[in-house]
Amino acid sequence: MFEKLAFIEEKYESLGHKISDPEVISDQKLWMKLSKEYAEITSIVEKYRAYKNVLTGIEESKEIIHEGGDPEFVEMAKMELSELQDQVGVLEEELKILLLPKDPNDDNNIIVELRAGAGGDEAGLFAAELMRMYIRYAEGRRWKVEMLDSNETGVGGIKEASFMIKGKGAYSRLKFESGVHRVQRIPKTESGGRIHTSTATVAVLPEVEDIEIEINQNDLRVDVYRSSGNGGQSVNTTDSAVRITHLPTGMVVTCQDGKSQLSNKEKALQVLKARLYDQQLAEQQKELADERKNQIGTGDRSGKIRTYNFPQGRITDHRIPLTIYKLDSYMNGEIDEMIDAIITHNQAILLKTIGEN
């Protein structure tokens, strides 16, 4: 580990000189590439240097204690030595986490797709609540939210909806939200007061660049139609809504929330690319499944990942497992506690896997 850290520090110094070179600055494409590399390893180098400073402080404190002298000065050195030794283990663990292989999509924008599952109108209402929860979370982090498509149920719920979240690190924070979310509560329409169970499915897809996914235009069938609101009421007098069918896979993407046909077509293509890329990732994860049986995946859409129990005011994640008794604030977008716990759990699994290899 320390050989790798020393190499990264050398690379950091080299990149620092390069991005200050006038010749490199004049080549904006190269300068941006090197600046991105420099930024990506800055946190590792800063933590490594803090670690080395602690080791230096330990040696200096030991030297003072060994030499003796002023008893008060020696006592201060002993106290400082104890504090510094406590920091060593913490910094080593933090460095191990920083050196974990990084998901190349972590900094990407995301496309979130929600679908009502089992439970009729109640499932649609729950899907709409999940959508509001994620939107509020994104707004709390000052990320931009852009609706792509929605199909309402007529009672305030949604059959399905998709939206984009634009913000640095969006995928790293929300990628583990993919899966089946289950709600247990008494529906407003239930006169007998019985608790019902309904589900909604969430898919979090990283936005991808054209270079990552190439689509042959001959593989697409594009249909245009009029956008419609609740109950089929026309909300647009022109054929601005777009439906794209990817013929090789049968994937169908619709978009009607944009103001123009061109805008909707561009957004629909973004969603299609994200879905095709996500399909590739899921296939890769399936191949690695035997090697990483315990790792939290991001590709399985069929697994029940979380239960929202309203009578008990709790949210339980079944992969960790973790239960949080803050349902009201959670549904209002305060979901960082759960996200942090899942990320930490996944990091622990990765550390264990690397240690075994």
Query: Does residue 166 share a domain with residue 73?
Result: no
* Among the ranges given (48-57, 100-109, 300-309), the one the predictor scored with the smallest mean pLDDT: 300-309
In a domain, 104, yes or no: no
pLDDT of residue 232: 42
Q: Residue 255: in which H helix or E strand, if any?
A: strand 251-255
How does pLDDT run across 271-290, given as a tens digit for each residue? 888 888 888 777 766 654 44
The mean predicted confidence, pLDDT, of the chain is 85
Tokens representing 159? Answer: 């059959």
311 occurs within a structural domain: yes
Q: Does one domain contain both 276 and 149?
A: yes
- How far is residue 51's CA from residue 74's CA, in Å, rounded to a whole number? 23
CA-CA distance, 91 to 97, in Å (whole number)? 10
Give CA–CA dist 15/286, Å, rounded: 37
* Residue at a domain's end among 76, 98, 120: 98
* From 8-12, 104-108, 141-145, the region with the lowest mean pLDDT: 104-108
Query: Has residue 200 been placed in a domain?
Result: yes
- How do strand 179-185 and strand 241-246 relate by DSSP bridges? unpaired
pLDDT score of 211: 53
Classified as helix, coil or strand, 164 is strand
User: Using alpha carbons only, how large is the chain's radius of gyration in Å?
Assistant: 26
98, 127, 143: which is the final residue of a domain?
98
Residue 14 and residue 47 share a domain: yes
User: Does residue 228 have a pLDDT over 60?
Assistant: yes
Q: How many C-beta neighbours within 10 Å does residue 208 have?
A: 20
Please enumerate in sequence order all residues whose Cβ is within 8 A of that of 177, keeping only pairs 6 or more positions apart, or say none. 112, 134, 202, 204, 305
Cβ neighbours around 251 below 10 Å, total: 14
Q: Both tokens of residue 87?
A: 């920091």
Domain final residue pick, 67, 98, 129? 98
Give the Cβ contact number of residue 198 at 10 Å: 23
Does the pLDDT value for residue 98 go beyond 90?
A: no
d(CA 24, CA 203): 41
**CA–CA distance, 118 with 268 (Å, rounded to integer):** 26
Residue where the block lists tokens 């000052």: 142
**Token representation of residue 5:** 């850290």
Count the neighbouring beta carbons within 10 Å of the beta carbon of residue 99. Answer: 17
Residue 174 included in any domain: yes
Q: What is the mean pLDDT of residues 49-54?
A: 93
In the chain, the number of structural domains is 2
One domain, residues 169 and 301 = yes
Is residue 58 predicted with pLDDT exceeding 80?
yes
Residue 342's pLDDT is what?
95
What burial letters (b/e) apply to 337-347, b meaning 16+ CB within 10 Å? Answer: ebbeebbebbe
Same domain, 298 and 159: yes
What CATH number should be reported for the domain holding residue 51? 1.20.58
For 174, counting Cβ atoms within 10 Å of its Cβ (0-12 exposed, 13-18 middle, 19+ buried), the class is: buried
Nearest to 92 by CA among 58, 62, 55, 63: 55
3-class DSSP state of 208 = coil
Residue 103 CB contacts under 8 Å (≥ 6 apart), including other chains = 171, 172, 175
Domain that holds residue 44: 2-98
Q: Give percent of the chain above pLDDT 90.
A: 45
| CATH for 221 | 3.30.70.1660
Res. 112: pLDDT tops 90: yes
Residues 128 and 160 both lie in one domain:
yes
- pLDDT for 40 equals 83
Residue 140 falls inside a structural domain: yes
Model confidence band, residue 64 (pLDDT cutoffs 50, 70, 90): confident
pLDDT tens for each residue of 289-335: 444 444 455 444 457 999 999 999 999 999 998 999 999 999 999 99
Looking at the fold, whether 115 and 40 belong to one and the same domain comes out as: no
CB 64 within 8 A of CB 37: no
Of residues 25 and 234, more confidently modeled: 25
Asked if 132 and 249 sit in the same domain, the reply is: yes
Closest CA to 260 of 278, 241, 287, 279: 241
Q: What is the pLDDT of residue 357?
A: 55
Check whether residue 226 and residue 308 sit in a common domain. Answer: yes
Q: Are residues 59 and 94 in the same domain?
A: yes
Q: Does residue 356 lie in a domain region? A: no
Answer yes or no: is 103 within a domain. Answer: no
Lowest mean pLDDT among 18-32, 43-57, 133-147, 183-197: 183-197
Give the per-residue pLDDT at 156: 86
The answer to the question of residue 355 being in a domain is no
* pLDDT score for 288: 46
Do residues 22 and 67 both lie within one domain?
yes
Instruction: Based on the fold, state whether residues 276 and 174 are members of the same structural domain.
Output: yes
- Alpha carbon distance 350, 97 (integer Å): 9
Residue type, 327: L
Assigned token pair, 179: 């899966």
Two tokens, residue 123: 């499932």
pLDDT higher than 60, residue 99: yes
Give the containing element (helix H, strand E) for 286. helix 261-288
Going by pLDDT thresholds of 50, 70 and 90, the confidence category of residue 36 is confident
3-state secondary structure of 147: strand
Please state, in angstroms and rounded to a whole number, the distance separating the CA atoms of residues 76 and 65.
Answer: 9
> Looking at the predicted structure, is the pLDDT value of residue 182 above 70?
yes
Average pLDDT over residues 148-162: 88
Q: What is the pLDDT of residue 287?
A: 55
Average pLDDT estimate for 238-262: 84
| Amino acid of residue 149 | D
Cβ(136)–Cβ(166) below 8 Å: no
Res. 143 pLDDT band, cuts 50 70 90: very high
Selected residue with higher pLDDT from 165 and 2: 165
Strand-by-strand arrangement of the 251-255 sheet: 220-225, 241-246, 251-255
